Amino acid sequence: MARLAYPASYYAATAVGAPERAPLPGGTDCDVCVVGAGIAGCSTALHLGEAGYRVVVLEENRVGWGASGRSGAQALVGIAAGQSKLERLVGAADARAVWDVSVEGLTLMRELIARFKIGCDWVDGSLLTALKARHVRDLLAERDELQQKYRYGSVRYVPREELRAMLASERYLGGLYDSNSGHLHSLNYSLGLAAAAESLGVRIFEGTRAAGFTTAGDGTVRIRTATGEVRARHLVLCGNVYLGATAPSLASRIMGVATYIVATRPLGQERATSLIASNAAVSDMNWVLDYFRRTADHRLLFGGRVNYSGLRSFDAPAATRARMLRVFPQLADAQIEYSWGGDVDISLNRAPDFGRLAPDVYYLQGFSGHGIALTGIAGKLVAQAIAGTAEKFDVFARIPHHAFPGGIALRRPALVLAMLYYRLKDLL
């Protein structure tokens, strides 16, 4: 069988060895079929396998092939929409429950890494940085809200003078440091979760697309593939933007947004440390944000371009490098060794979209660039729901979601126009 290729990224080049798993050869039966072998799918399978379920995972490409294995790999507390917006959507009590789950997600990551000895270069610490005076005001308000309202004691405000010692850039006015969040090698983490799931009896088939599914009156869900079908009692859809026609009703509620990342050649420990002394994962507060971190082999990994149009009409590596030099002009001589991009899923309100398409058909999507930690705990929640304890899952299922306006033809141009407003706002 020809080996399926990962996107040519820093993560793929430095990944641990992983077996190439065969496609599904024909038909099979199981308790639960999971579609998608990213972090969400592998975590779902792992927790179901741990509970004694017979689990089959179908992956069109390779384990961690999508956003799970090529993102900025910042594992952050909370959700992309923010707590204030979430409170408006679901009320204070449910918003607090979502927050608590996100905190639990970081604890779960550390537990899984330790328990299954997953070598993924975990580092504690994240830093959210302010570029404008209004950002500083927002950071101070967020610190107060998290410390006082949510009793989250892991955050502290970093004034400009201290920040300059932590981060060798003149660009920022202050920051919010979170000792509980962190960063890691996301592909190695995904591969480690897959191996852990298999150690619990889960079967993973790569090179196998789920073409569609039907539910029968006898409680069976039939999932079609090119070579046969899987017959299951439950189905969990974790394919995000790559599901497409497999679940059209879900496709209308998320959109793929192209993101781009570069990684320098190794800078050496001293130079890399001088850039980010704290070794935190850093992101700024612009809508079109920059995010960056050090790697275990002393590179700078930097993301900073977003393409909402669906077109590939510009030089993304050069544009991302230019953004890197705005933050760290001292890297003008640093060479870029890896550059890559790919789609991440966003929902219209930037809140995660979990729910059911039928009593035994579950889905997880809409992480909106904030999914490294949340995808793992989402897999645990859906596994609990299948086992009969759905309280936490149903909190997320109550978040209202709508299709992107404009239908198939006009939704992306409409989004581009909306994003133009936010880009202009970034400049003010």
Question: Which CATH number characterizes residue 170's domain?
Answer: 3.50.50.60
pLDDT at 201 exceeding the cut of 80: yes
Its pTM stands at: 0.93
Token pair for 315: 């030089």
Q: Is 418 inside any structural domain? A: no
Mean pLDDT, residues 304-328: 76
Q: What tokens does 212 get?
A: 């569609």
Q: What is the pLDDT of residues 227-264, one digit of tens each?
A: 999 999 999 999 998 998 999 999 888 888 888 999 99
The predicted pLDDT at position 418 comes to: 47
φ and ψ at residue 13, rounded to 5 degrees = -70, -25
Residue 420 in any domain: the answer is no
Q: Does residue 425 sit within a domain?
A: no
Mean per-residue pLDDT over the chain, rounded: 92
pLDDT in tens, 366-407: 999 889 999 999 999 999 999 999 999 999 999 999 888 765
Q: Over the stretch 38-60, which tens digit does the pLDDT of each residue have?
A: 999 999 999 999 999 999 999 99
Is the pLDDT at 175 greater than 50, yes or no?
Answer: yes
Which domain, by its residues, includes 355? 10-410
Residue at 317 is within a domain:
yes
Residue 65 lies in a domain: yes
Domain assignment present for 421: no
339: β partners: 262
In a domain, 423, yes or no: no
Q: Is residue 428 part of a domain?
A: no
Mean pLDDT lowest among 26-40, 140-154, 171-185, 312-326 = 312-326
Number of domains in the chain: 1
The pLDDT, as a whole number, for residue 414 is: 47
